[in-house]
Amino acid sequence: SAGSVVLVGAGPGDPGLLTLRALRALNEADVILHDRLVSAEVLDLARRDAERIEVGKQAGYHHTTQDGIHALLLRHAQAGRRVVRLKGGDPFVFGRGGEELEFLREQGIPYEVVPGITAAVACAAYAGVPLTHRDHAQSVRFVTAHCQSSRDTLDWTALAQERQTLAVYMGVAELGGLRARLIEHGRAPSTPFALIENGSRPDQRVITGTLANLAERAAFHAVHSPALLILGEVAALATSLAWFGQPP
């Protein structure tokens, strides 16, 4: 009989942020291809005898290539197995979920998608930052600044607009360049930020400050990946609305 693939968003790390559908998919899986960043607590919720294969990427190098992941998906689905492709966060927000579905569709493999709590939404909730508080922001924009090519082609003037919240999925190494470009394009140096390390996990840390001192604050506190940056007037609320873990 034909196998199938369920593309599942695992959320940010706290297993309590899995959806009921994600839990069911993990319970029914024969094999789980998971990113490196999916937490052990989440994997513990899978069927005991499911095969687990780590296919994650690490910053800087690829553990398994995208083509390699496609080949694994195909091989296991063609063997009639129920495959779960488990990704951190949501599969369609800076995942490669779209590419994997295009490949499966070409190959005629049936699939479903289970959305997950993406890092920006999780970190905002756990840091007390209302992303679109109507007194301060009209929109929220999710952007990544991981690779040189994306940094060079982003419309920095649009990113530097006031009254919008930016949620930046990024490595902490890029903070200096991000600050320089945003200020150069008109964002006020006094714009508040909240930088959330290990969002939703017991060791969550929230570092706050202004765009002017972003890189120095991050360096002083030795913030490491995974971290999410929220930039905009709403980030100032992290101080007054904090409820989880160490206050900033």
Catalytically annotated residues: 35, 57
Which of residues 72 and 154 has its CB atom nearest to a copy of itself in the complex?
154
Residue of 55, 74, 84, 111 interacting with a copy of itself (CB under 8 A): 111
Residues pairing with 206 in the sheet: 196
214: contact with a copy of itself by CB under 8 A: no
- Residue 125: Cβ within 10 Å count: 18
92: contact with a copy of itself by CB under 8 A: yes
125: contact with a copy of itself by CB under 8 A: yes
Residue of 2, 58, 78, 98 interacting with a copy of itself (CB under 8 A): 98
225: contact with a copy of itself by CB under 8 A: no
d(CA 89, CA 22): 12
Number of residues that bind a copy of itself (CB under 8 A): 67
DSSP state of 89: B
- The 29-68 site mask, x for binding a copy of itself (CB under 8 A), equals ----------------------------------------
Cβ–Cβ under 8 Å, residues 87 and 7: yes
Q: How far is the CB of 138 from a copy of itself (least distance, A)?
A: 6
11: contact with a copy of itself by CB under 8 A: yes
Cβ–Cβ under 8 Å, residues 120 and 27: no
126: contact with a copy of itself by CB under 8 A: yes
Q: Which residue stretch of 30-38, 77-85, 141-149, 217-225 sits at the interface with a copy of itself (rule: CB under 8 A)?
A: 141-149
d(CA 130, CA 122): 11
d(CA 197, CA 223): 7
211-216 long-range Cβ contacts below 8 angstroms, 24+ apart: 211/179, 211/182, 211/183, 211/187, 212/179, 212/183, 214/175, 214/176, 214/178, 214/179, 215/175, 215/176, 215/179
d(CA 113, CA 6): 6
Chain residues binding a copy of itself by CB under 8 A are 9, 11, 14-21, 23-24, 90-94, 96-99, 101-102, 105, 110-118, 121-122, 124-126, 128-134, 138-144, 150, 153-155, 157-158, 161, 163-164, 234, 237, 240-241, 243-244
